[in-house]
Amino acid sequence: MAKKPRKKGKMKYNAGEMGPRSVDVYVGRRVRERRTLIGMSQEKLAEVVGLSFQQIQKYETGSNRVSASRLYEFSTILSVSPSWFFEGYKEGYKEKDAVQDEPDICKRETLEFIRSYEKIPEMTQKQLRALIMATSKEYGK
C-alpha cells in the first residue's frame, strides 16, 4: 500500500488517535484540584461557564484541550492565575506517574482536613502543624 503524501502546513493533532498530550492531562488535573479544593462541583462549574458537566469531565481528564480563553475563564472563577494551572508541570507528565511527594489534594479526607484546619484558631493551627511535622518525621525514618 502506498503512503499518502503528507500535506504541507500544520499537522493536525487528534487526541483520539494519539491520546491526550501530557500538558492537557496536567492542566485538567489542576482544574479538578482547584475546583475540588474550593468545594465546587463539576455541575456548578459547568453552569457558571455555560457548558455541560460532561464537558468539564473531558477537560479534567485531558481528553479535550482547554483553550486559552477557557483557561482564563476557569482561572477567574477558581480564583487563581492562569499560570497556576502549569505550576509544577514536567515534560512527559502522566497522571499515573505523578510525583509521589505531591499530595493528592483531591482526596476527600485531605479536603475535609484542610477545611477543618482553616476553622481552627491560629495558635492551635501552629501547635497542630508542629505535631504533624514531628509525627511525619518519625514515620519518615
The confidence score (pLDDT) of residue 96 equals 56
Q: Which regions in the chain score pLDDT beneath 50? A: 11, 14, 98-101
User: pTM value?
Assistant: 0.64
Domain boundaries, the chain: 15-106, 107-141
Q: How far is the C-alpha of 38 from the C-alpha of 44, rounded, in Å?
A: 12
Q: How far is the C-alpha of 110 from the C-alpha of 20, rounded, in Å?
A: 28
| 15-106 carries CATH number 1.10.260.40 | yes
Which phi and psi angles does 120 have, rounded to 5°? -80, 145
Cβ partners under 8 Å of residue 138, min gap 6? none
The confidence score (pLDDT) of residue 2 equals 57
Q: Are 46 and 53 in contact (CB under 8 A)?
A: yes
The confidence score (pLDDT) of residue 99 equals 42
Q: How far is the C-alpha of 86 from the C-alpha of 113, rounded, in Å?
A: 25
The confidence score (pLDDT) of residue 101 equals 43
